Amino acid sequence: MQILTALEPLRTALSALKNNSGDARLALVPTMGALHEGHLTLVREAKARAEHVVVSIFVNPRQFGPNEDLATYPRQLEADARLLEAEGVDVLWAPTVEVVYPPAYATSVQVSGLDAVLCGAARPGHFDGVATVVSKLFNQVQPDVALFGEKDWQQLAIIRRMARDLDLTRPRADAILGVPTVREADGLAMSSRNKYLTADERAAAPAMNRAMRVAAERIVAGEPVAQALAVLRAKVLAAGFRSIDYADLRDAATLEDLAAFDGRPARLLVAAHMGKARLIDNVAVG
Ligand code: PAF
């Protein structure tokens, strides 16, 4: 595995990969590092879909708000590199902040509307940062397929819309592939931020996903959405979460708020605070 931190060596390595293997497909797995089983599942899925795999690790300052955890976000490049090497990744793309945002950098990508709801409401500017860095990663790596976890459902919806709007990927159905959330045995969605939970908080946290699955079943069974969401909120707070940013039923693609379930693909999404962690999760409805 090559570990590259500058653009020219990346371009040379990618063109060598392409020249050596004709029609071979290239997959990109963008990450911010602190890799866990969820990321490694993306890598394995990438390897199943493409001959060559590039994983990027970049803690993107533009997607952190002023009071967020940029400084303390876990960074463990050497350990991450060992994991990726063992998975047979071809290239680890780990650019510095100066490579991604050179002096006088002035461009931002905004996916209007989709970025204003859910996490976007609580974290203004976050999705501009995500869309900007992901569009740069697509331009740098030019993958045939890019893989993202469904845990960040809003991020996935925004990246799909951006890629379509800006013609960033080839027009294939699976060019932006969402991979189902990987969970701990007790149902907690894997996240680098789970490290912020104390032992007691960690034990309590899976209650959120349990309550979400029950709410999703009740909505499909015909319970009014507002009632199911009220019960869900009460259960999340009773489990020890100190506040809830949102607990919503949304159209899976447009993220339109759904006051009633009408059978279209929908998602139940929750963000809530437990101790120092802000946990997000989502489940399919119907
Ligand atoms: O999901 C993440 O880890 C990040 O938001 C991403 C997509 C790598 C962009 O920085």
**Separation CA 219–CA 207 (nearest Å):** 18
What's the CATH number of domain 2-179, 3.90.1150.10, 3.40.50.1820, 3.40.50.620, 3.30.2320.20?
3.40.50.620
Domain 192-280 is in which class? alpha beta
Which ligand 1 atom is the nearest neighbour of the CA of 134? 9
pLDDT attached to residue 173 = 57
Model confidence over 141-160: pLDDT tens digits?
999 999 999 999 999 999 99
Ligand 1 pocket residue status of 32, Cβ below 6 Å: yes
Task: Give the pTM.
Answer: 0.95
Half-sphere exposure in the Cβ direction for 77 (13 Å, CA): 12
Ligand 1 pocket residue status of 191, Cβ below 6 Å: no
Ligand 1 pocket residue status of 134, Cβ below 6 Å: yes
Distance between Cα 56 and ligand 1 center (Å): 9
20 pLDDT exceeds 80? no
- Closest-CA residue, ligand 1 atom 8, reads 31
- Closest-CA residue, ligand 1 atom 5, reads 130
Three-class DSSP category at 72: coil
Domain ranges of the chain: 2-179, 192-280
pLDDT band at 169 (very low <50, low <70, confident <90, very high): confident
CB of 60 closer than 8 Å to CB of 34? no
The predicted model gives 267-285 an average pLDDT of 97
Model confidence over 76-126: pLDDT tens digits?
999 999 999 999 999 999 999 999 999 999 999 999 999 999 999 999 999
pLDDT attached to residue 137 = 97
Beta bridge partners of 247: 270
Best residue among 133, 138, 140 to mutate for probing ligand 1's pocket (most ligand atoms within 8 Å of CB) is 133
Distance between Cα 57 and ligand 1 center (Å): 9
Three-class DSSP category at 46: helix
pLDDT attached to residue 219 = 98
pLDDT attached to residue 172 = 60
pLDDT band at 22 (very low <50, low <70, confident <90, very high): confident
Ligand 1 pocket residue status of 26, Cβ below 6 Å: no
Joined together, the tokens standing for residue 217 give 């079943």
174 pLDDT exceeds 80? no
Which ligand 1 atom is the nearest neighbour of the CA of 63? 10
Summary count for the chain: helices (H), strands (E): 10, 9
Ligand 1 pocket residue status of 132, Cβ below 6 Å: no
Model confidence over 47-76: pLDDT tens digits?
999 999 999 999 999 999 999 999 999 999
The answer to whether residue 39 is catalytic is yes
Best residue among 29, 137, 152, 193 to mutate for probing ligand 1's pocket (most ligand atoms within 8 Å of CB) is 152
pLDDT attached to residue 63 = 98
pLDDT band at 19 (very low <50, low <70, confident <90, very high): confident
257 pLDDT exceeds 80? yes
pLDDT band at 134 (very low <50, low <70, confident <90, very high): very high
pLDDT attached to residue 18 = 82
- Closest-CA residue, ligand 1 atom 9, reads 130
